Chain A
Amino acid sequence: MTDVVAMILAGGQGKRLGILTENIAKPAVPFGGKYRIIDFTLSNCTNSSFYIVGVLTQYKPRVLSKHLGIGRDWDLDRKQGGLSILSPYAASSKGEWYKGTAHAIYQNMDFIDQFSPKYVLVLSGDHVYNMDYNEMLDFHISKRSEATIACIQVPIKDASRFGTIITDNTSHVIDFEEKPNHPRSRLVSMGIYLFNWKMLRSFLIEDANDPDSMHDFGKNVIPKMLLKNRYMYAYDFDGYWRDVGTIHSFWSTNLELTHSMPALNLYDPNWRFYTHSEEMPPAFFGRNSKIVNSLVSEGCTVYGDVEGSVLFQGVKVGEGSLVKNSVIMTNVNIGQNCHLENAVVSESVIVKDGASIGIGEYVENVEQPDIYNHGISVIGEKTIIASGAQIGKNCSVGNFLDMEKMNVKILESGHNLRER
């Protein structure tokens, strides 16, 4: 498709992921054993043959930029189009951060114009889903739509967390409400928009000049288009789509992959998910290891027991240890006789012998119950968990901590450990 430019919004922090996004942007958060969240959107672009892709970065882009490189892993290193990383920039008169989703696209109008596309597809780098954008494009064209919003149905009680859409029986959008208190519809926006570029362009300029605007698609641009009676349609998507914006949804969406016949098929040869991964030898399973319902990536060596968990590349599980219902990220080293349950352990953490995580009484998190809940405990990257340490439920242990040096052995349920 040469008449579509895909713009991926990848600048968000994802505050509700707590320490997981303290140092990296949400699209760069590892997912599914070897991927990062943005891989799903990028792979959808490649699988849909959309080869002109701009990735808009802002919040802590180091890991994300390194991961993307020149886009080679997604076949996006192209002589025509390909992947471009679009960061906020300084111009002769003034430099500006992206003030909102619409402003981010506005700032990169030059980038889009050079391809003179008919359509612009605005995507989010925060979601895990598989979608053929061609079907949405076909829908857009056949409806003679000027703006198409991809939507899914959610239970009405959850709808208030999203932008809700009210349509007539031809999928024509009549009204759009961003995070309403009393939702009138189960149809919610996936944050995926397809616009006729000429039309969008004029609305972006108008929006940029509006001092009262928050420069957000859902809050400002879409309502303005509706107000001016532009042809707007809702594309009802019935495939797999997950917003992994909270610790609980991140954890459960990962663990879903370990079920038999999960909704997201990572093994479909016709819809591969591509990523940038390190070269490591295949996973090794020791003679006394016991593994069920788990993903165990390359470079892993497992001597202990693993149950219902996702192990990323290069994870070691020592003898006598049990890892249950947990997400263990790249190069984590778990010693002997450890016990991990309902844990999310970030990259390169060392769990020394005899430590336990996620064991104990269920107590709500004292400081941030909205982030650390459902009994899940989260360990930050490169942290060292002291030998014999006991970490309870709903806990968090910050990034780059050394519990041995801090002389901490016990973290009771519901508490956070940070640098002092």
Chain B
Amino acid sequence: MKVLGLILAGEKGKGLGKLTAKRASAAVPIGGKYRAIDFTLSNMVRAGIKKVGVLTQYNPRSLMDHLGSGREWDLDRKRGGLYILQPYVSESDQYWYRGTADAIYQNMTLLRRGSEDYVLIGSGDHIFSFDFNALYDYHMTSMADITVMTKSIEGYDPKLYGVVKTNDEGRIVKFEEKPPNPDGDKISLGMYFVNKKMLMDLLYTAASNGGYDFVNEIIVANLDMLRIMSYEFTGYWRNAKKSVSEYKKINMDMLNREVSRELFYQNGKIFTKLKDLAPPKITSTGSVKNSIVADGSIISGKVEDSVVFRNVEIRSGAVVKDSIILENSVIEEGAKLNNCILDKNVTIRSERVYKGYDEPLIFEKWQIM
């Protein structure tokens, strides 16, 4: 089966505040060394997808730097490979992507040219590990026109997600975006599997009607006409761009061994950009409890219930609790952090004390406190 992967990675992710001031939400750092997009990208590659298009728009610099030629995901290929699809100016029009359907529509050439029969649409913000082969199988056996990945609504705020109602055989009969009074017991995970020719037809129709949104134009508008099925995913799944506390929760979930095993081992590896840093070092004054520490870091202080990214220095006497410390940050002697998120290259001077209360305290890139 030949499948084209498309990853929507153009959003800012307003919910993440300062964390997405200078990067797209698909590029937010996760779990010590990854970025959000690594998960969907690795899932696709592991399922044998050889051609992946990444649709970017909002401040893509750090995302582009991360993806490079796609080599870390085995996508630097002579056949297929990684395509970065940015908004562009042409003779006839010059628009930013006006919505998810429009973003794909504007890159119709990629769909038209390839020899793929199916398209898998994912998002750069999703943190999960899944073997997409199960989705293909379901799509085939259920004779679906479009298959939407869903999950039980339990544990998710319906006001932040699309809510799906299905009939007995799993066909979607109702799909509401962020409803105040949800009618349905599943949320949509924003991942779609569809026949390529059909998708092209649907996109042309939507565009000629002036519709730009994928959910409204492709899914909701066709619930009666097409057989749109729901494939229910039961594993760990989170959306990194929903809110700061959700972002923190995802990172802290990595400390849970069950979650970590499911994400990083069960279905194969999650690939990311390699940095060739030395193994982390814990010195004579250092102590690390219930935490993860990435390569290149030197820990001389106390770290507890925290996620420490690459190349971080935590000096002696410093105490880091319940916090996320992104790459290249330095926490000097005697400083104390509790419930904080430090973006990259932050320096906390010695003896400073910071504590986040209801919401974690966020320090912006290159801040020196």
Which residues of A pack against B, CB within 8 Å?
A: 32-34, 73, 257-258, 260, 266-267, 272-275, 277, 279-298, 301, 310-312
Assuming A267-B277, A272-B277, A281-B270, what are 8 further A-B pairs, CB within 8 angstroms? A266-B279, A267-B281, A282-B33, A284-B257, A284-B292, A285-B291, A296-B279, A312-B279
The answer to whether residues A284 and B282 also contact, given A279-B272, A279-B274 and a CB cut-off of 8 A, is no
Which residues of B pack against A, CB within 8 Å?
A: 31-33, 72, 254-255, 257, 260, 263-264, 269-272, 274, 276-284, 286-296, 298, 308-309
Does B288 lie within 8 Å of A289, measured CB to CB? yes
List 24 interface pairs A-B (beta carbons < 8 Å), by A numbering: A33-B278, A33-B279, A34-B278, A257-B281, A260-B284, A266-B278, A267-B277, A267-B296, A281-B32, A281-B254, A281-B263, A282-B31, A282-B32, A282-B293, A282-B308, A284-B257, A284-B292, A285-B289, A285-B291, A287-B290, A289-B288, A293-B283, A296-B279, A296-B280
Does B292 lie within 8 Å of A267, measured CB to CB? no
Residues of B within 8 A of A295 (CB): 278-281
Does A267 lie within 8 Å of B278, measured CB to CB? yes
Q: Roughly how many angstroms separate A290 CA and B284 CA in the complex, as a whole number?
A: 11
Does B33 lie within 8 Å of A281, measured CB to CB? yes
Residue of A nearest to B310 (CB): A282
Residues of B within 8 A of A293 (CB): 282-284
In whole Å, how far is A411's beta carbon from the nearest beta carbon of chain B?
Answer: 30
Q: Roughly how many angstroms separate A273 CA and B276 CA in the complex, as a whole number?
A: 7
Residues of A within 8 A of B31 (CB): 281-282
Residue of B nearest to A295 (CB): B279
In whole Å, how far is B132's beta carbon from the nearest beta carbon of chain A?
Answer: 19
In whole Å, how far is A387's beta carbon from the nearest beta carbon of chain B?
Answer: 22
Q: Roughly how many angstroms separate A294 CA and B286 CA in the complex, as a whole number?
A: 10
The answer to whether residues A287 and B289 also contact, given A34-B278, A296-B279 and a CB cut-off of 8 A, is yes
Residues of B within 8 A of A275 (CB): 276
Residue of B nearest to A288 (CB): B289
Does B276 lie within 8 Å of A291, measured CB to CB? no
Report whether over half of chain A's contact residues are helix, strand or loop; otherwise say mixed: loop
The answer to whether residues A277 and B274 also contact, given A294-B281, A294-B282 and a CB cut-off of 8 A, is yes
Residue of A nearest to B307 (CB): A282
The answer to whether residues A267 and B298 also contact, given A277-B274, A295-B279 and a CB cut-off of 8 A, is yes
Q: Roughly how many angstroms separate A102 CA and B289 CA in the complex, as a whole number?
A: 54
10 shortest interchain CB distances as A-B pairs: A266-B278, A282-B32, A33-B279, A282-B294, A297-B279, A285-B288, A287-B290, A295-B279, A281-B264, A282-B292
Q: Roughly how many angstroms separate A277 CA and B271 CA in the complex, as a whole number?
A: 12
Report whether over half of chain B's contact residues are helix, strand or loop; otherwise say mixed: loop
Does B280 lie within 8 Å of A284, measured CB to CB? no
Q: Which of B287, B298, B308 contacts A291 (CB 8 A)?
A: B287
In whole Å, how far is A327's beta carbon from the nearest beta carbon of chain B?
Answer: 12
Residues of B within 8 A of A260 (CB): 283-284
Does A284 lie within 8 Å of B276, measured CB to CB? no
Residues of B within 8 A of A280 (CB): 264, 269
Residue of A nearest to B38 (CB): A279
Residue of B nearest to A287 (CB): B290
Q: Roughly how many angstroms separate A131 CA and B293 CA in the complex, as a whole number?
A: 30
Does B281 lie within 8 Å of A258, measured CB to CB? yes
Residue of A nearest to B298 (CB): A267
Q: Roughly how many angstroms separate A288 CA and B264 CA in the complex, as a whole number?
A: 23
In whole Å, how far is A279's beta carbon from the nearest beta carbon of chain B?
Answer: 5
Residues of B within 8 A of A73 (CB): 276
In whole Å, how far is A282's beta carbon from the nearest beta carbon of chain B?
Answer: 3
In whole Å, how far is A354's beta carbon from the nearest beta carbon of chain B?
Answer: 22
Q: Roughly how many angstroms separate A258 CA and B281 CA in the complex, as a whole number?
A: 7
Residue of A nearest to B328 (CB): A269
In whole Å, how far is B31's beta carbon from the nearest beta carbon of chain A?
Answer: 7
The answer to whether residues A279 and B269 also contact, given A284-B260, A291-B286, A291-B288 and a CB cut-off of 8 A, is yes
Q: Roughly how many angstroms separate A297 CA and B32 CA in the complex, as a whole number?
A: 13
The answer to whether residues A32 and B278 also contact, given A281-B32, A282-B33, A284-B260 and a CB cut-off of 8 A, is yes
In whole Å, how far is A91's beta carbon from the nearest beta carbon of chain B?
Answer: 34
Residues of A within 8 A of B271 (CB): 279
Q: Roughly how many angstroms separate A32 CA and B278 CA in the complex, as a whole number?
A: 8
Residue of B nearest to A311 (CB): B279
Does B282 lie within 8 Å of A292, measured CB to CB? yes
Residue of A nearest to B32 (CB): A282
Residues of B within 8 A of A258 (CB): 281
Does A273 lie within 8 Å of B292, measured CB to CB? no
In whole Å, how far is A323's beta carbon from the nearest beta carbon of chain B?
Answer: 13
Q: Roughly how many angstroms separate A311 CA and B255 CA in the complex, as a whole number?
A: 20
